[in-house]
Chain A
Amino acid sequence: DIQMTQSPSSLSASVGDRVTITCRASQSISSYLNWYQQKPGKAPKLLIYAASSLQSGVPSRFSGSGSGTDFTLTISSLQPEDFATYYCQQSYSTFITFGQGTRLEIK
């Protein structure tokens, strides 16, 4: 199976900060990488698909980049509603796997 490793596991930041979350795959997955946001008690929400494509309705302050094994999710200017847990997910293999999550907290 393809292991997905996110860093950091948790992060404290302030409103207005620029934040970057990294996801590394254990083997090349081309651009088959998706990002989700999950708030407590809610289902995950798709933010970015195919590494860098913004899902419809998602604010443009979210962006994704990368290919191969290394990927990043960037939030250009944190808003209060962005404090949540973020997951990456690879869809290169028919055995779909998620990263362990990155918890973004208010500083």
Chain B
Amino acid sequence: QLQLQESGPGLVKPSETLSLTCTVSGGSISSSSYYWGWIRQPPGKGLEWIGSIYYSGSTYYNPSLKSRVTISVDTSKNQFSLKLSSVTAADTAVYYCARTVTVSDAFDIWGQGTMVTVSS
């Protein structure tokens, strides 16, 4: 059964870069049937899509975050990663990675989420 697990620092200082990795287990990240995304949720608020990546490396980003976001994929490690630069307190959130089914563009499998706090 495919599983996703986020990993990375839980505390990031303002103006620094947030870096998270999502490890895919129980299946291959290199499938044309799926692509991979990052979604975040500030405490007590709704869901915000950050961006998505295909195993080929093609990316799509939320325009409001595009200038600060980089998503990459490492097929040899079955992982994809998120970097968000110049973070502020507004970037404090639970960050989820998720699999997207290509035919429906629905996020069908999610990681458990990781809380990232931006604070000095």
Q: Give me the interface of A with B, judged by CB distance under 8 Å.
A: 1, 32, 34, 36, 42-46, 49-50, 53, 55, 87, 89, 91, 94-101
Q: Which of B12-20, B83-91, B100-108 contacts A (4 or more CB under 8 A)?
A: B100-108
B62 in the interface, Cβ–Cβ < 8 Å? yes
Partner of B49, one of A42, A45, A98: A98
Q: Is the CB of B101 within 8 A of A49?
A: yes
B96 in the interface, Cβ–Cβ < 8 Å? yes
Note all chain A residues with C-beta closer than 8 A to B108: 46, 49, 55
Q: Is the CB of B63 within 8 A of A1?
A: yes
B42 in the interface, Cβ–Cβ < 8 Å? no
- Given known contacts A49-B101, A49-B104, A91-B104, A98 and B47 CB-to-CB distance under 8 angstroms: yes
Main secondary structure of the interface of A (DSSP, over half): loop
Cα(A49)–Cα(B101), bound, Å: 10
- Sorting the interface of chain B by its residue count into under 10, 10 to 19, 20 to 34 or 35 or more gives 20 to 34
Q: Which of B43-80 contact A (CB under 8 A)?
A: 46-49, 52, 60, 62-63
- Given known contacts A1-B63, A49-B101, A94-B60, A44 and B49 CB-to-CB distance under 8 angstroms: no
Q: Is the CB of B107 within 8 A of A34?
A: yes
B110 in the interface, Cβ–Cβ < 8 Å? yes
**Besides the known contacts A42-B112, A96-B49, A101-B47, 14 further A-B residue pairs in the complex with CB atoms under 8 A apart:** A43-B96, A43-B98, A44-B96, A44-B110, A50-B106, A53-B104, A89-B47, A94-B60, A95-B60, A95-B62, A97-B49, A98-B49, A100-B46, A101-B46
